[in-house]
Amino acid sequence: MPGYQNIQVENLTPKLGGEVAGADLANLDDATISDIRAAFLDRLVLVFRDQQLTRDEHKAFGRLFGELQTHPAKTNLGLTGDPEIFDIKITAKTKVANGEGWHTDLSCEPVPPKASALYITEVPPSGGGDTLFANMQEAFASLSPPVQRLLEGLTAFHDGYKDLKAYGYEPKPGQTYPTSNHPVVIRHPETGKPVLFVNEPFTGHINELSRAESDAVLEMLYRHIETNTRFHCRVKWQPNTVVLWDNRAVHHHAVWDYYPERRSGERVTVKCEDPPQQFAS
């Protein structure tokens, strides 16, 4: 484990996640920023408790990792509000909760995001509303070598319209939403590790296989991700908690087990500089 000068990091599990102490995200010096960046690459999911952030401070924290990305619901579908913040508000009137299903954010984009920072300010009073994370580096590493070799040569179509349909949204005439092709196994741009890069909400099919073959392979991979808890971690939210995760290397699943109670907050998303690159062993 790397050593840190200004923060303390307690592992959530040996393979994924860390709870960070010693960082006020509204007032960070250069040494602490350096520590957080190192911990981000090492632990992939970082939890910061007891934060008090304005919307501008939240955005400033996100910008430490790159330019902020606007959600296509705002650029393409006309959703109003701050273009750099995606508001999360689950109430008794909500029909489909955000993020309920294993996914990586906006893999349908030509250049999917680098990172997301979610700031939850209101949690369900009776408990629940945890977020699960899965390490996609470990998900790939735990596959058998023959399956790894098969996947390394494949690409998949990621369909934003598939995700919209799950939320019951039908684009209006003239509205478009992103779709893209990406390698099934990508190379992490900073660590060089192979990462499994398919997810059920967005991935439509594997391009090089027949539809029946694609459906079978994807179903196997989705259940592999969903059921192998040894590369998962679980974050229990408290008011004023920020969680930062590496969108290139982890999936997450927001558990909606608190209906009809409320959960609310806001998310900023960080752009990646380049599209995902295929991993070659």
Number of domains comprising the chain: 1
The amino acid sitting at 8 is Q
What pTM value is reported for the model? Answer: 0.96
Residue 142 covered by a domain? yes
Distance CA 139, CA 197 (A): 10
Residue 136 covered by a domain? yes
Question: Which of 202, 172, 178, 163 has the alpha carbon at shortest distance from 78?
Answer: 172
Distance CA 81, CA 86 (A): 8
Residue 1, pLDDT above cutoff 60 = no
Q: Each residue of 148-163: pLDDT tens digit?
A: 999 999 999 999 999 8
Residue 47 covered by a domain? yes
Residue 126 covered by a domain? yes
Q: Name residue, tokens 């250049």.
A: 111
- Name the β-bridge partners of 89: 264
CATH code of residue 41: 3.60.130.10
Residue 202 covered by a domain? yes
| Domain that includes residue 255, residue range | 8-270
Residue 209 covered by a domain? yes
pLDDT bracket for residue 56 (50, 70, 90)? very high
pLDDT of residue 281: 81
Q: How many CA atoms lie within 13 A of 65 on its CB side?
A: 28
Residue 101 covered by a domain? yes
Residue 207 covered by a domain? yes
Mean pLDDT of 173-188: 96
